[in-house]
Structure 1
Amino acid sequence: MIEFKNLVKRFGTRTVLNGLSLKILEGEIIFILGTSGTGKSVLLKNLVGLLSPDEGEIWIDDEEVSKFTEEQYLPIRKKCGMVFQHPALFDSLTIFENVAFGLRRHFQLPEEEVVEKVQKALGLVHLHNIGAKKPAQISYGMQKRVSLARTIALQPKILLFDEPTTGLDPVTTTAVNQLIQGLSRELKTTSVVVSHDMNCALTIADRIVVLDKGQIVASGTPDELKESNHPLVKDFLAETLSS
């Protein structure tokens, strides 16, 4: 579904992605882990065309997209749904209007179909009967779920998550992880999760990739990562065991 080939991204004299190559299979839940500044979020931004690589190729669904113009990238972005670190909901709109926003903007749908898709998306994230509320009237964890509903309402083939559990308590973190896993399986999406939380990765990932200094230093299933001797992976695992 996604392939990065020898990807290089520089900002001035600083090389953030340094010849990174990675294949992501259709339907896979893959976690990309690393400390701050190792290029995790930059990788996602290159994937959706918010940034362009200096070298290398990006393939999405059998298309090489790294040299696409903004106009060419639009149909690619419709295949990708991105869930940001913060919910980024419109405070002045109701929950229903927030979830419907993308549907109304990108598709010419009759209103009854919009209503049906919004209700289905809210149901998938276990939020019922809150459509008339404003974001300020619900908890931060619920706002995260509304943000996820807004994304899946567009029925993307690829779900991208940027630090989805940052700032959440352990109970809500577990609930969000279960949602990511359940939705990925039910909707048959390919899910790419950028995170620094090894515990989340060990719980729901099919595969974990660890970045350091813009390169992949470890990759494998959760069980394979547990056996890794790489110092950074061992540090992540030690933090998981101590928490």
Structure 2
Amino acid sequence: MSASGSGVAAIYGRAEEAQNAPVKLQPVPAFELYKAAREEELCSYRSLCRVLCMHSGGKLTKQQRRILEDMREELCLPTERAEAELAAAREDVLVTSVAASGVLKRRQDFFDGVTDVPLDTLSYAESAKDDNNSLYVAQTKVARTEQIVGGVHGRHAAPSKMSIREIHKNLERIGREVAATSSKLLYCTSVVDQQAYRNVLQQKREQLQAMLREVEDAPPDMSGIASVMPSEHVY
């Protein structure tokens, strides 16, 4: 790696050359170190402004303002630059979208959605990769069977049959959850919570559609039907 250039890349390049070189190299100039450190300080303050605005929607609390003021003094940032960073964070599309969605207030509904990256392999050129999984974690899991497509030949595994007992049990459970969520949505005044309840109802709708497809693809097992239809035995 060449040590040409300046800034963070040059410092890492010289450090790598120093480790591999048979002779002692010239030290990195102090100005290069200071410039790299200054870049890190500015980036950290910018990230802090963005994160706090994600949590507050741009309306900082007293505690958050004190945090920024303390960091501004610690990092020796000019007032004009610090205010410009905060203003830019408040107008950033990602920051405003996260704040408006309220996802940080519903952490229990999400998981990381990225593959693990060991700390010793992290670099400016490498970041966590999306694992292509949904970020939303269902509140309840429904037993389901799906057709599995294997290879380019499109082979389909035969779906397993659901019993009438399982179908009725799942329908009753989903019905109770839909009724409870609908009641919460009816009396909810928060826009964020309303959207969350709508997402849950949409999820229940998709679960019902999946159950319908399973029944259509594999007729249910009729064994045990007497135990789930008491009306035939009650007079």
Identify the TM-score tier after normalising by the shorter chain.
Answer: under 0.3
Larger Rg: 2
Q: What TM-score do the two structures reach when normalised by structure 2?
A: 0.25
- Choose between structure 1 and 2 for higher RCO, CA contacts under 8 A separated by at least 6 residues: 1
More strand by share: 1
**Larger helix proportion of the pair:** 2
